[in-house]
Amino acid sequence: MRFCFMLWLLICGQMTVACAQSPAEPKPGSGPPNIIIFMVDDLGYSDVGFNGGTDIQTPHIDALASRGAILNAHYVQPVCSPTRAALLTGRYATHTGVYTVVRPHARWGLPLQERTLASALQEVGYETCIAGKWHLGEFEARYRPTARGFQRQYGHYFGAIDYFTHERDSSHDWYRDDVELREDGYSTELIASECVRIIRERPAGPSTKPLFLYVPFNGVHSPLQVPESYLKPYGHLQGNRRTYAGMLSAVDTAIGRILQALQDQQQLDQSLILFSSDNGGPNPGVLTRNGRFRAGKGTLYEGGIRSAACVTWPGKIPAGVRKDAPVHIIDWFPTLLEVAGGSLAQPLPLDGRSLMPFLTLDQPTPHESLLLVQSPERAAIRAGDWKLLQLTESAAADAAPSGKRVGAAAKKGNRRQAPQPTGNSELYNLSSDPEERQNVANEHPDVVRRLKTQLDEYLKDAVPPGQPG
């Protein structure tokens, strides 16, 4: 009897220890990270300190970059909407049809059959929020953010809105949860305040859902407007460059406020944070700085499609490193979904590849080549150090060395004449010639043929420009 009693006590003790070692709730920070994406509109590659900028102060952005990996060859689309579509779908413009800017009230947008990153993250338990510029269609409710996976929305649908009145062409463009909202304030500051509110209002504890917060600022896109207080440090600059500097400082301050809110909530170290511009800077050398890269916004030269970018995730992504290998904005969909524990299975195939081995294990880029595209007729390919461009007359004009014609068309209504193919290819070795000064197509016909074959393969199933769907 005594033996049975002692055996019973031993079994109960083992059960108690087992229960104590198997808590019902996960430890704080043991689940998937918060995912924060900062996107700055029309930012020049070298206008941030971490890429060598010296005349504009970006201390919060630079501090963020120092905590993780700086991406020296992070490719985006040449203009706004296509980059946003590629980020949120993991698919090239040749597959979404979003080759160009979605104009206000245009009767098309990101195709409805596309699975968005917000929807995919919501499926695995994330709280999904957008604060800033949508720019992927709004003419019907089903194209708006709250119908595309975002549980909370704040900001505007169009580009180029007035920063204070929130209007464009007499149309008011400011919303909360896709319902029109009238409020005063400089849009960059309002976006920051909304993000801080979202972060601070979230309950603390291990059962709290991870947060996906997408922050596509309209700064530093035109119109060039900023409160006077942001101009004071830039008396050494003149004209629009000074205003642009103040606008970038406002964005940097906003990012600092958001990062501080995460820190105050003890969430900063539990967050994966991506920072990127949506395209190269417009009017380079005058308004913006794209460093040594040729041309700017609206072109397929490096100044138009290399973005200032960095990514941080404490304890996962090593800090203080620079990555030279090429990656693309399409890669963040599979990367972030992998981090979140979601499924990549979907009807529409992904073009992006997970960057986690590249970022955390120092593996090579997952791509043998990358498609760089404005339209099926205006495309380029990068494979290793080689870059082949199929240009048009208008694209070549945009890339004039003076830089004065780079970017959005200066003509009324931003209209261009239909581009005409030149019939010529341009080949550059980006290792020896990152400035794209020496077209070596004639010297390397074998490389041209090989890359042309690969580019044709990319373009063989290209869809036409976006239509209502």
Contacts by 451-456, CB closer than 8 A, 24 or more apart: 451/369, 451/381, 451/383, 451/386, 451/388, 451/427, 452/388, 452/425, 454/369, 454/381, 454/383, 455/371, 455/379, 455/380, 455/381, 455/388, 455/390
- 135, 166, 221, 367: which is the annotated catalytic residue? 135
Burial of 364: CB neighbours in 10 Å, binned 0-12, 13-18, 19+? exposed
Q: Give the CA distances from residue 243 to residues 5, 50, 167, 238, in Å, rounded to whole numbers and listed in that order.
A: 83, 21, 20, 8
Give the pairing of strands 175-176 and 171-172. Answer: unpaired
d(CA 285, CA 291): 9
- Bridge partners of 70? 310, 322
H helical segments located in 170-233: 187-201
- 60, 80, 129, 328: which is the annotated catalytic residue? 80
Say how far residue 77 (Cα) sits from the centre of its chain.
10
**Token code pair at residue 447:** 């490389």
391 close to 420: Cβ distance less than 8 angstroms: no
**Helix then strand then coil, % of the chain, to nearest 5:** 35, 20, 50
135 catalytic? Reply is yes
- Strand ranges for 25-66 from DSSP E: 34-40
Give the pairing of strands 306-307 and 69-71. Answer: unpaired
**Token code pair at residue 91:** 């698919």
What type of residue sits at position 383? Answer: A
d(CA 396, CA 299): 8
What type of residue sits at position 170? Answer: S
What type of residue sits at position 282? Answer: P
33 upstream amide cis, omega within 30 of 0: no
80 catalytic? Reply is yes
99 close to 298: Cβ distance less than 8 angstroms: no
Supply the residues annotated as catalytic. 80, 135
